[in-house]
Amino acid sequence: MKLNNKLDLNGVINYIISLTEKQIIKYGITGVIFSITTPLLFVLFSSLFPRVLVISILSPFSYIIKFFVYKLWVYKSKKVTPVRYIIHITPLYLISILFTAFTLEVNRTDLIAIGLIILNGGFGYMWGKFLYSLRNISISN
């Protein structure tokens, strides 16, 4: 992209398009979408059903959809395998259930949803970065 005194509109458009091809941008877009929709559904369904039940059912559905988004759009390589993904999400799922169970006394479901975003977002990112950086993991199917 060449910027002189004039704005090179084609260069800007091509630059934006090239950004969307980068995995980190796709990862970020996916993260933002799932960080908004899953907690909103959690808050909505928690007004109808017990919170632990909601998180126990909602999380697996969310994880399954997210797996296919990662596999088909974000990481088109063989990096994301079902086994690695299950290893990635299992601690996140357990953290979600435990956190939700331990906060049953808190009446504000929206705060619980924010806590889940922070816990799963922070730990999930670090754990995933570590897990997917391993080149020779023995479980690769």
70-115 residue pLDDT tens: 888 887 766 678 888 899 899 999 999 999 999 999 999 999 999 9
Is the alpha carbon torsion for 106, 108, 109, 114 positive or negative? Answer: negative
Q: Categorize the per-residue pLDDT at 64 as very low, low, confident or very high, splitting at 50, 70 and 90.
A: very high
Q: Where are the domains of the chain?
A: 9-133
| CB-CB contact of 24 with 50 (8 Å) | no
| Average pLDDT rounded to a whole number, residues 45-70 | 94
| Average pLDDT rounded to a whole number, residues 48-65 | 96
- Which of 97, 87, 99 minimizes the C-alpha distance to 124? 87
Token duo for residue 46: 């928690």
Across the chain, mean pLDDT equals 84
According to the model, what pLDDT value does residue 1 have?
A: 47
Rounded to whole angstroms, the Cα distance separating 106 from 63 reads 25
pTM above 0.85, yes or no: no
Radius of gyration of the chain (CA): 18
19-39 residue pLDDT tens: 666 777 888 888 889 989 999
According to the model, what pLDDT value does residue 107 have?
A: 92
